[in-house]
A and B are shown apart, each in its own frame.
Chain A
Amino acid sequence: MASWKMKSILALTLALALAVWTFGPRPAEAVKRGGILKLVVGSKIPSYDGHRETTFGIIHPLRPFYSLLIRVNPDNPQSPTDFICDACAGKVPKPTDGGTKYTFKIRDDIWFHNGVKLTSADVKATYDKIIFPPKGVPSARKAFFTSVKSVTAPDSKTIVFKLKYASGAFIPALANPFNWIYSKADLDKHGTNWHKKNINGSGAFRFVQHKPGAFVEGKRYEKYHLKGKPYLDGYRAISAPKMALRMQAIRGNRAYIEFRGFPPKARDDLKKALGDKLRVQESDWNCNLLFTPNNKRAPFTDKRVRRALTLAVDRWGGSKYLSRIAIVRGVGGMVFPKHPLAATNEELKKIAGYWPDIKKSRKEAKRLLKEAGVNLNKTYIFSNRGVDQPYRVVGTWLIDQWRSVGLKFKQEVKPSPAFYASLRKKHDWDVSMDFNCQSVINPLADVSKFLSDDVSGNQYGQYQNRKLDKLFDQMNRASDVAKQRAFMREYEKEALETSAHQFITLWWFKINPHRSFVKGWKIAPSHYLNQSLDQIWLDR
């Protein structure tokens, strides 16, 4: 009897232990240290300066060399409101003075890779360069900070941002992953162009070498201020502009991850080939392709012609078909489609270029072209970037769309540096592909691309529209979401239809297949976010 009782207790204990083991909470996976992360990057590096550039081509290989003041929480990158301190100490501060003053304390344990200690003076010099760049110094995101009145550093551990008005767009703008903290000494000694060709950051990894067109190499920075990190010994960012090459690199284990995104077809092929050796993360993407007419080049100086361009494009049909072959999916206006400030489908369908009846839309386009006296025998130049996904696919689609209203375009595809030179300086195109890829979902700042070119910093259509500038300002000063939304609709209509300056094609959809042993990285709604690599480890 006793033996029976003992057996019963033993069996019960074992069953309980099994249940706990199966259904109970599991301890966190033990992080493994060491190893070299090999990632593939689908774009070249136009320059090393994060403040002037807008491409993932520098974020993926170079962001790990730098620190930010604050950053998106790497454990919760999908949230548009979850920020943590990087160079600042403690938690992200709450504003004071009616929401117009932010005071940050700077950590005391950060050193640049050249051995110089990071202080608030470096942060101030960095943000002065970004927000108030000297004349002739490009800053792609200065328009994000139109609310900022001043940046001061009262002592070596304190940095204060004073705003002209309370703005919900300020903190997300501050967390932008391009806001790399530069050393004031470097800026003072070498000038504002030095960072185009030189690297001296305080990030998790130190720069080792860059073989142009081949790879960028970084190794662990032992004095990194986030103790215990990074987990990797180093990383190698391999340049592979062709999508097929990137895909084959992952398939053949020559690279473990690509942070930008693959089209659905590539995901399916990889999954089929690698099975459970592959993990796929997917997300909506705060990124869209634009086509920008040259507002200073005839016949695109005429807003009727520009409007005809957008009316010719069947976005609803394109979304359905292109999503099968490219990394695009959603139809949307200026604002990230799922955001409260975004236009609803009903609102969108009232804007030129989004009408549900494409025949009616194209008929109107043809009428406008005729009315404007456009020479339909001429072949116009469409400048595009030499990146497979989604530029070339969408470019080919656009040319076909315009052809349906009688406009002929010749596509000129250029490598990234030449494309940017053409887009920003040469303006030797009639219409150019452009993009508005943002990091933190922050529509109040993200739509700054549509401002006048002397305000925006990254508007290449070469137009000035003070109505847009005023609406943008009013929208950013508006205290509640309803008012912001109303201003946003007006702003959107003015830019996309009334003055018809530049246009959105489709929003992107992010698919990141990667080797299953790559751990610690969570997909964000942007390929710019979560790229410090300090939380990644290899489970091998």
Chain B
Amino acid sequence: MAVSEVAAEGIVLEDSRDTFGQKVWDLVRRKPLGAAGAFVVLFLLVIALLADFITVYDPVKNSYDSMHVPPNAEHWMGTDQFGRDILTRIIYGARTALLVGFVASFIGSTLGLMLGVTSAYFGGRFDLIFQRIMDIFMSFPLIIMALAVVSIMGTGTDKVIFAIMIPFIPRCARVVRASALAVREIPYVDAARTLGFNHKRIILRHMVPNVMAPYLIMLTSFMGQAILLEASLSYLGLGVQEPTPAWGLMLQGGAEEYAESAPWIPIFPGLAITIGVFAFNLLGDAVRDTLDPRLRSQ
């Protein structure tokens, strides 16, 4: 248990002598669901990174002697219509999901952060016009926006990342701007201006660090959405393409034709998507509660 003391002003101070293990345990006790989410995310990260070492089968090699094999000791989750081991493809599919999830949400959120802070900092007409542009982008549902981008740019992992990233930008920018507007009014920003610092320095050194909480909250919540969007686009045939292992793509190939006769083909990728997205959502909620408990009530 963390040792704490009450300072004279009544503020609870964390004891710097806490070990990392104690901090983790404390977090697990306070946020058990968030910890479970973090554990699953960590697990997915590990299997994605170590996929080459922990799998026995080739994720893309067709094996026509093993088509539609139900789950057994050799193929724990069975094989698909091309004779590929489903477990292996799910493990490799985690790479695709996490790559798309992390990259799209990180770039989307970071661009949103920069644009949101810049908009708040300059204010006035620039802010007004910029926010109306954001309104236009936000008027489209996430999936519609992503579909539009993919239909213009084409399919493939890189394009899917771009397609998912685009709708995240205005969403993050809007939330971050709200916080940045408050930060802008704090005297140290005026002080920085008085000292003659340029806009870039004020934005990057003085404002951005103070809006990291909403940024991190958005970032973690976007990850689950990005994975779901990637799966949706791939399911619609507009995302990652065969033979790349990707959960949505596996679902597309299996759910439609083999839901009845070989249900293991769609069930396991479906479960992977559900668990992955659920884990990121739990983690995102925990991060939000920790960094900004006020948002919980909203």
Query: Residues on A close to B: CB < 8 A?
Result: 242-245, 263, 265-266, 268-269, 317, 320-321, 324-325, 386, 388, 392-393, 395-397, 399-400, 403, 410-415, 418
* Most chain B Cβ neighbours within 10 Å, of A242, A269, A325: A325
Kindly state the separation between the CA atoms of A138 and B76 in the bound complex, as whole angstroms. Answer: 53
Contacts of A396 in B (CB 8 A): 62, 82, 242-243
Asked whether, in the complex, the Cβ of A403 is within 8 Å of the Cβ of B242, the reply is: no
Q: B55: CB under 8 A from chain A?
A: no
Known: A392-B242, A396-B242. A403 touches B61 (CB 8 A): yes
Query: Residues on B close to A: CB < 8 A?
Result: 60-62, 64, 67, 81-82, 151, 154-156, 237, 241-243, 255-258, 260-261
Knowing that A399-B243, A400-B82 touch, tell me 9 more A-B residue pairs with CB under 8 angstroms: A242-B256, A265-B258, A397-B82, A403-B61, A410-B241, A411-B242, A413-B155, A413-B241, A414-B154
Kindly state the separation between the CA atoms of A410 and B151 in the bound complex, as whole angstroms. Answer: 18
> How far is the CB of B163 from the nearest CB of chain A, in Å?
15
What is the interface of chain B mostly: helix, strand, loop, or mixed?
loop
Contacts of B156 in A (CB 8 A): 410, 412
Contacts of A410 in B (CB 8 A): 156, 241
Contacts of A400 in B (CB 8 A): 60-62, 82, 243
Can you give 30 A-B contacts (C-beta < 8 A)?
A242-B237, A243-B257, A244-B255, A265-B257, A265-B261, A269-B260, A269-B261, A320-B64, A324-B67, A325-B67, A325-B81, A386-B237, A388-B256, A395-B242, A396-B62, A397-B82, A399-B242, A400-B61, A400-B62, A400-B82, A400-B243, A403-B60, A410-B156, A411-B242, A411-B243, A412-B241, A413-B241, A413-B242, A414-B155, A415-B151
Contacts of B155 in A (CB 8 A): 412-414
Contacts of B241 in A (CB 8 A): 410-413
Known: A243-B257, A325-B67, A399-B243. A412 touches B154 (CB 8 A): yes
Contacts of B242 in A (CB 8 A): 392, 395-396, 399, 411, 413
- Determine the residue in chain A with the shortest Cβ distance to B151: A415
Asked whether, in the complex, the Cβ of A266 is within 8 Å of the Cβ of B257, the reply is: yes
Kindly state the separation between the CA atoms of A265 and B80 in the bound complex, as whole angstroms. Answer: 14
- Determine the residue in chain A with the shortest Cβ distance to B81: A325
What is the interface of chain A mostly: helix, strand, loop, or mixed?
helix
Contacts of B61 in A (CB 8 A): 400, 403
Kindly state the separation between the CA atoms of A386 and B154 in the bound complex, as whole angstroms. Answer: 12
* Most chain A Cβ neighbours within 10 Å, of B61, B64, B258, B261: B64
Kindly state the separation between the CA atoms of A386 and B258 in the bound complex, as whole angstroms. Answer: 19
- Determine the residue in chain B with the shortest Cβ distance to A389: B257
> How far is the CB of B39 from the nearest CB of chain A, in Å?
34
Pick from B62, B154, B237, B256: contact of A397, CB under 8 Å: B62
Contacts of A399 in B (CB 8 A): 60, 242-243
Kindly state the separation between the CA atoms of A268 and B257 in the bound complex, as whole angstroms. Answer: 11
Asked whether, in the complex, the Cβ of B257 is within 8 Å of the Cβ of A244, the reply is: yes
Contacts of B258 in A (CB 8 A): 265
Asked whether, in the complex, the Cβ of B257 is within 8 Å of the Cβ of A413, the reply is: no
Pick from B67, B154, B255: contact of A321, CB under 8 Å: B67
Contacts of A418 in B (CB 8 A): 154
Kindly state the separation between the CA atoms of A269 and B257 in the bound complex, as whole angstroms. Answer: 9
- Determine the residue in chain B with the shortest Cβ distance to A317: B64
Asked whether, in the complex, the Cβ of B256 is within 8 Å of the Cβ of A321, the reply is: no
Kindly state the separation between the CA atoms of A265 and B254 in the bound complex, as whole angstroms. Answer: 12
Kindly state the separation between the CA atoms of A414 and B153 in the bound complex, as whole angstroms. Answer: 11
Kindly state the separation between the CA atoms of A40 and B81 in the bound complex, as whole angstroms. Answer: 25
Kindly state the separation between the CA atoms of A399 and B257 in the bound complex, as whole angstroms. Answer: 21
> How far is the CB of A238 from the nearest CB of chain B, in Å?
17
Kindly state the separation between the CA atoms of A393 and B64 in the bound complex, as whole angstroms. Answer: 13
- Determine the residue in chain A with the shortest Cβ distance to B259: A244
Kindly state the separation between the CA atoms of A317 and B154 in the bound complex, as whole angstroms. Answer: 33
Contacts of A245 in B (CB 8 A): 256
Contacts of A414 in B (CB 8 A): 154-155
> How far is the CB of B154 from the nearest CB of chain A, in Å?
7
* Most chain A Cβ neighbours within 10 Å, of B151, B155, B255: B155
Asked whether, in the complex, the Cβ of A321 is within 8 Å of the Cβ of B60, the reply is: no
- Determine the residue in chain A with the shortest Cβ distance to B241: A411
Contacts of B81 in A (CB 8 A): 325, 393
Kindly state the separation between the CA atoms of A395 and B241 in the bound complex, as whole angstroms. Answer: 11
> How far is the CB of B194 from the nearest CB of chain A, in Å?
55
Contacts of B64 in A (CB 8 A): 317, 320-321
Query: 8 shortest A-B CB distances, which residue pairs?
Result: A244-B256, A321-B64, A400-B62, A396-B242, A411-B241, A325-B81, A413-B241, A396-B243
> How far is the CB of A359 from the nearest CB of chain B, in Å?
16
Kindly state the separation between the CA atoms of A321 and B80 in the bound complex, as whole angstroms. Answer: 13
Kindly state the separation between the CA atoms of A393 and B61 in the bound complex, as whole angstroms. Answer: 14
Kindly state the separation between the CA atoms of A421 and B136 in the bound complex, as whole angstroms. Answer: 31
Kindly state the separation between the CA atoms of A418 and B238 in the bound complex, as whole angstroms. Answer: 13
Kindly state the separation between the CA atoms of A412 and B81 in the bound complex, as whole angstroms. Answer: 21
> How far is the CB of B214 from the nearest CB of chain A, in Å?
38
Contacts of A242 in B (CB 8 A): 237, 256
Kindly state the separation between the CA atoms of A397 and B253 in the bound complex, as whole angstroms. Answer: 14
Kindly state the separation between the CA atoms of A403 and B256 in the bound complex, as whole angstroms. Answer: 27
Known: A396-B82, A413-B237, A414-B155. A243 touches B256 (CB 8 A): yes
Contacts of A243 in B (CB 8 A): 256-257
Kindly state the separation between the CA atoms of A325 and B80 in the bound complex, as whole angstroms. Answer: 11
* Most chain A Cβ neighbours within 10 Å, of B60, B82, B241: B241
Contacts of B62 in A (CB 8 A): 396-397, 400
